[in-house]
Amino acid sequence: MTPEEQLEREADGRRLAVAATVGSVALQVLAVVVRGTVRAPGNANAPGGVLDLPRHLSQHATAYVASAVLLAGGYVLLAPVLDYLYRAAKARRPEVPGVARVTAYAGPALLVAGLVVLEVVPVVRAQDYVNHHRGDYFAARAVVDPGAAAGLLPAGAFALGFAFVITSLNAMRVGLLTRFMGVLGIIVGVLVAIQSTAPTPILWFWLGALAYLFAGRWPGGVPPAWRTGKAEPWPSAQELRARRRREQAAPAPAAEPAPAPRPRSRKRRGGAR
């Protein structure tokens, strides 16, 4: 694919990438707001705490399910965002590992499965417990016991974080992301891998800045790699120091002599005879 064809392909997918980026942030913020309306559950280790958890989940079932669905949607929309950035980097640097694209889709899929198992299923079980097994200690523990499915969230978070790190690193190397955005994207990937389903403002800030970049509204103009369709690596610190030394050592251009003043023309006095 020629650089011109690649630029056309990116232009065709730009609107979808911007919409997915903004939509992901909006859904994650809404999930946090909805979850904030629920008071924290009691301590399960306290006397009677295990028996109180199913009742708590049943009372706040709508909020728990709504926040889980919103958060799942926010993570699903991250897949096309990372895929758009990955394909742009891959076109300019074929060495970008394809596993980054795989994990960009596998991570959200695992997170959605984990949210269903850990957030939605317990709510359904809690409703059944309240209706049919109230006071049964073992039934209460079964409500919140995820079993082997507890590993879905950590696995999905690690996969998604890996996609963030690899994609941001390579996009920075080819000049699609500034050094600030590239390093911040790597930090976001690490935070996603560590915090699993906990959305963070730093993730929202990075996605918001990425939406401006995709839309071509980056302050000072988009990086050259987005305009040429080719890799435009950022100069290293050593290259910048060498450039400054050359500019300082270069002789200053000689000032051009000021033009000589033109003689004033004398007006002829009197009229013609």
* Structure-block tokens of residue 174: 């080819």
Q: What is the DSSP letter of 270?
A: S
Residue 3: half-sphere exposure toward Cβ, Cα within 13 Å: 11
CA separation for the pair 57, 127 (Å, rounded): 8
How confident is the model at residue 273, as a pLDDT? 40
How confident is the model at residue 47, as a pLDDT? 45
pLDDT in tens, the chain (273 residues): 788 999 999 999 999 999 999 999 999 999 999 988 887 665 555 545 677 778 888 888 889 899 999 999 999 999 999 999 999 999 999 999 999 999 999 999 999 999 988 888 888 888 888 877 777 777 777 777 777 778 889 999 999 999 999 999 999 999 999 999 999 999 999 999 988 767 789 999 999 999 999 999 998 889 999 999 999 988 766 766 776 777 777 665 555 555 555 555 554 544 444
CA separation for the pair 121, 192 (Å, rounded): 23
What single string gives the DSSP state of each residue in 149-212?
A: GGGHHHHHHHHHHHHHHHHHHHHHHTTSS-HHHHHHHHHHHHHHHHHTT---HHHHHHHHHHHH
Q: What is the DSSP letter of 144?
A: S
Minimal CA–CA distance to 192: which of 160, 152, 149?
160
Give the rounded distance of the alpha carbon of 32 from its chain centre.
Answer: 17
Instruction: Write down the residue that tokens 């109180």 correspond to.
Output: 52
CA separation for the pair 171, 178 (Å, rounded): 9
How confident is the model at residue 81, as a pLDDT? 97
